[in-house]
Amino acid sequence: MPAKNGTANCTIGQGSVFEGRFHVHGSIHIDGKFQGDIKTDDELVVGANGRVKTDISARRVTVAGTLIGNIVAEEEVHLVGSGKVLGNITTPKLTVDPGVVTKGKLTITPDGVADAVDVAVTEAFGADAEDAFKELTAAPSRGKKAASTVEAE
């Protein structure tokens, strides 16, 4: 799964292990194991064989492998069907393919405005916004528990 432009500036290949701090100008493709701190100004792809434990900050993120950590993407996150994510996701656009397994908080905001959800709830419910939101998020789920779980923030 190459970066959208077809090539990656950096690749951690299958069978490779990297631990440490990795800050890259350009795209990164990980099919091996990575643990540490990672940041890019472009796209980060966790390939189907990738096993990553880190918080990610990137323009675009695609996960087809396994990620333990939070994602902050400026433009979009794509979770491919084989992807598994344990962590929070913050992005203006999210695509989730069937088969994805994920657990964490999801925040989708336009243009990276972190408090857009809080503002929208306050505008809709006024002074009672906090109580209304707590009631909504505390309501027990009904029916059979699904394999994918996403908590709205």
pLDDT digits (tens, 9 = 90+) for 91-119: 999 999 999 999 999 988 876 566 666 77
Number of domains in the chain: 1
24 — pLDDT class (breaks 50, 70, 90):
confident
Question: In sequence order, what are the residues at sequence separation of 6 or more whose Cβ sits closer than 8 angstroms to the Cβ of residue 153?
Answer: 88, 105, 106, 107, 117
Residues 21-35 have a mean pLDDT of 92
What's the confidence (pLDDT) of residue 74?
92
- Residue 117 in any domain: the answer is no
Q: Which residue has the tokens 């990672």?
A: 38
* Contact between 41 and 59 (Cβ < 8 Å): yes
- Residue 125 in any domain: the answer is no
- Residue 82 in any domain: the answer is yes
Task: Check residues 130 and 141 and name the one with the higher pLDDT.
Answer: 130
- Residue 26 in any domain: the answer is yes
What's the confidence (pLDDT) of residue 151?
52
State yes or no: pLDDT of 148 exceeds 50.
no
Burial class (CB in 10 A: 0-12, 13-18, 19+), 39: middle
State yes or no: pLDDT of 2 exceeds 50.
no
Domain residues for 21?
10-110+147-152
- Residue 40 in any domain: the answer is yes
- Residue 30 in any domain: the answer is yes
144 — pLDDT class (breaks 50, 70, 90):
very low
- Residue 80 in any domain: the answer is yes
Average pLDDT, the chain: 82
State yes or no: pLDDT of 23 exceeds 90.
no
